[in-house]
Amino acid sequence: MPAFVQAIALLIAQLGASQGQAAGPDERARATEQQMTDDERFGLIVSFHGATGGMVNDERIPPGVATSAGYTPGVPRLGIPALHMSDASLGITNPGYRPDDKGATALPASIALGASFNPQLARDGGAMIGREARIRGFNVMLAGGINLARDVRNGRNFEYYAEDPYLTAVLGAEAVNGIQGEGVISTLKHYTLNCNETNRQWLDAIIDPAALRESDLLAFEIAIERSQPGSIMSAYNKVNGEYAGGNNHLLNEVLKDAWGYRGWVMSDWGAVPRWQFALAGLDQESGAQLDMVNWKAEPFTEPLRKAYAEGKLPMQRLSDMVRRILRSIYAVGVDRWGPAAAVDLNGHNEIALEIARQGIVLLKNDRALPLATDRPLRIAVIGGYAELGVPIGTGSSAVLPVGGYAATIPIGGPGMMEYLRNLLLLRSSPLAELRKLLPMAEFEFDPGQTPAEAVLLAKRSDVVIAFGIRVEGEGYDLADLSLPWGQDMVIDAVATENPNTIVVLETGNPVSMPWRDKVKAIVQAWYPGQAGGRAIAEVLTGKVNPSGRLPITFPDDLAELPRPATPGLGTPWGMPVTVHYEEGAEVGYRWYAQKGEKPKYPFGYGLSYTTFGYKDFRVSGGETVTATVTVTNTGRFPGADVPQLYLTDAPGRRRMRLLGFERLELAPGASRSITMAADPRLLARFDGDKRQWRIDAGDYTIALSRAADAPVEQRVVRLVGRFFGR
């Protein structure tokens, strides 16, 4: 580099440091990168996976580093901090990395947050994660799973928010904003179409590229705009024949060019078979040792250096990879950390509790709930380890809570994730919490081992509360939607014996419910996190009025789905599998709307102990759709409603899209007016030939709804035709 360029670069860097970063992150990144040696550059574009469970750390991770999912050495002479990466979608994880770590706050599953329809809670949860990261010295969160729940059997749906791109984007963005507001980089993952776990590293997701823009990519596009995440993690799978981490169309053409994304793209762990992924837009290889395990090479260490030496990797590309990482460090402020603030674990528990409360969905209620608090009821609590705690999803997102798990029951299975597949119970016992809230009631517990034994207790009880749980997690898809270990038989038997049966489900996905017509009430509590038992008890007793709405459609039968069988299910680990997403952008409720069919419970559905009325619904058209409505709590309990705005018909092919929503807390008799303005991309089609969004001129039908298939009022508005965006 000529001396004068170097001098200017140094000057800019010093100015940035001395004048409170007057130079922007791009200028600073450029200036720093220009001073780096090639060794330093190559050092920054690889992360190493920490050893768990007392194993020896890779020698490239210096002693004393708090071990976690990923570590990238910094460059102290230039003030570049090392990157300490932790999984964090539901809290800071620790699958045996740090024996001395006393545990972290375990939030409810992201799908529970999805059910809250409350962006503020996502932000609170993110800020909580950011603070718990800071105190541990972690500066990059592998949080923010925003894949769409395309398949109700995907083992990892609990880590994602919803089947809908807009709801997903709004919540995912707020989680990132919460984390990055604490000066910690956050990641959105897994880009894209990692919507099944079965042989995910050998899975080829086939989809129409334009439909992808209207669905999974739209979730990323909007979330990125709203939160500027420091990094994006590419998915394990292939998309239309190319691995997501080496996919020029997805990374270079869409993410970096069309959307102008300026942070860096890291791979998923062990997902880089070739150095050429760098040319396709991948900026950092993650958990390099896992690539050695999977592909017998660490492509971004020696092979990439060789390619560089031979002129196959241009200097410009190497600089860009490094600058993107530096830019995010500077933009988020990871290089400017002061001492970490003390963590308020009680306050963090309150955040976990509030997400659980607002995420619980009341699916059915034949006047069985709330439970009477003024009578000495004999209540049978059956199954689900409700005397011990609540389950969580398994895999890399599993948080080790303060005080440890109430129980760890090994499940195992084929494949590489077997060691992480356990029934993990957080210490928040629904039974203990119910006892606190119903001091007059007499409780007895039955483990739900056999139908014959469970009915003995059900018979002599006034009310039965039966818990249904399921272990779902990374690396495994569900074979069907039944409850394991004979729980469906137990619930059926107790409901036959005692008509006052209430079922509480703690799962990450829909459940088949063969006993549905026999029970009085059904409560979907998801994996409700470390305060989940309390939230469940509060909802059952009416201390909290349920307000969750389904973020995922509950099918009646798997035969209704775009893919009645999960492709490749049951094939051995390592077997290539192809998933044809023929539904394109018509995911979940959109699919049902196109077919004109009704599911068991629709997207957006959820009951309350109060009622809500709508008036003065007005919609205007033009460039986009804007709607106003006044919502009134017409019942006797304070409660929250989630009015939803949908596109239900459009010129050309019929289609349905969630355009807007808002969660409103209202006292009995109280009213509030809201305005919802649609993102025009939700009204448009993506024109694959023009590579632009296209709104056709014409009439659009807009519904104000209580759920995807429950419109209250509809209006037709005219939109002007136009092309926009890229």
Active site residues: 268
Residue 87 CB, shortest distance to ligand BGC, in Å, is 5
Residue 269 CB, shortest distance to ligand BGC, in Å, is 4
The number of residues making up the chain comes to 726
What the block records as the tokens of 619 is 């919609």
Q: Is 197 in the site for ligand BGC (CB under 6 A)?
A: no
Residue 239 CB, shortest distance to ligand BGC, in Å, is 16
Contacts with ligand BGC in 85-124 (CB under 6 A)?
87
Q: How far apart are CA 434 and CA 379, in angstroms?
A: 10
CB hemisphere CA count around 422 (13 angstroms): 17
Binding mask 342-381 for ligand BGC (x = CB under 6 A): ----------------------------------------
Give the residue with the Cβ less far from ligand BGC, 189 or 213.
189
Q: Is 142 in the site for ligand BGC (CB under 6 A)?
A: yes
Compute CA distances 420 → 293, 397, 530, 600, whole Å. Answer: 18, 10, 19, 32
Neighbouring residues of 505: CB distance < 8 A, sequence distance ≥ 6: 467, 468, 469, 511, 522, 523, 524, 525
Give the residue with the Cβ less far from ligand BGC, 90 or 142.
142
Say which residue the tokens 């939803």 belong to: 644
Residue 170 CA to its chain's centroid (Å)? 11
Q: How far apart are CA 196 and CA 203, in angstroms?
A: 9
Q: Is 129 in the site for ligand BGC (CB under 6 A)?
A: no
Q: How far apart are CA 336 and CA 79, in angstroms?
A: 10
Task: Map 160-192 to HEC letters.
Answer: CCCCCHHHHHHHHHHHHHHHHCCCCEEEEEEEC
Contact 637, 668 (CB under 8 A): yes
Compute CA distances 463 → 112, 373, 524, whole Å. Answer: 26, 13, 18
Residue 394 CB, shortest distance to ligand BGC, in Å, is 12
Find the distance separating the first CA and the last CA of the chain, reported in whole Å.
36
Give the residue with the Cβ less far from ligand BGC, 417 or 455.
417
653, with CB counted inside 10 A (0-12, 13-18, 19+), is exposed
123-140: string of b/e by CB count within 10 Å (b at 16+)? bbbbbbbbbbbbebebbb
DSSP 284: B
Of the candidates 126, 108, 158, the one whose C-alpha atom is nearest the C-alpha of residue 551 is: 158
What the block records as the tokens of 113 is 């947050």
Instruction: Give the torsion sign (CA, 713, 716, 717, 720).
Output: positive
What the block records as the tokens of 85 is 């990466």
Contacts with ligand BGC in 388-447 (CB under 6 A)?
396
Contacts with ligand BGC in 13-72 (CB under 6 A)?
69
Q: How many residues bind ligand BGC (CB under 6 A)?
A: 7
Residue 699 CB, shortest distance to ligand BGC, in Å, is 43
Give the residue with the Cβ less far from ligand BGC, 87 or 538.
87
Give the residue with the Cβ less far from ligand BGC, 32 or 157.
157
Give the residue with the Cβ less far from ligand BGC, 132 or 268.
268
What the block records as the tokens of 377 is 């009821």
Binding mask 160-189 for ligand BGC (x = CB under 6 A): -----------------------------x
CB atoms within 10 A of CB 710: 12
Give the residue with the Cβ less far from ligand BGC, 52 or 648.
52
- Strand arrangement, sheet containing 70-72: 70-72, 83-87, 140-142, 185-191, 231-234, 264-266
Task: Map 355-371 to HEC letters.
Answer: HHHHHCEEEEECCCCCC
Residue 403 CB, shortest distance to ligand BGC, in Å, is 23
The helix (H) or strand (E) run that includes residue 326 is: helix 315-332
Give the residue with the Cβ less far from ligand BGC, 151 or 268.
268
Give the residue with the Cβ less far from ligand BGC, 164 or 268.
268
Binding mask 253-282 for ligand BGC (x = CB under 6 A): ---------------xx-------------
Give the residue with the Cβ less far from ligand BGC, 69 or 495.
69
Instruction: Report the interface residues with ligand BGC, using CB under 6 A.
Output: 69, 87, 142, 189, 268-269, 396
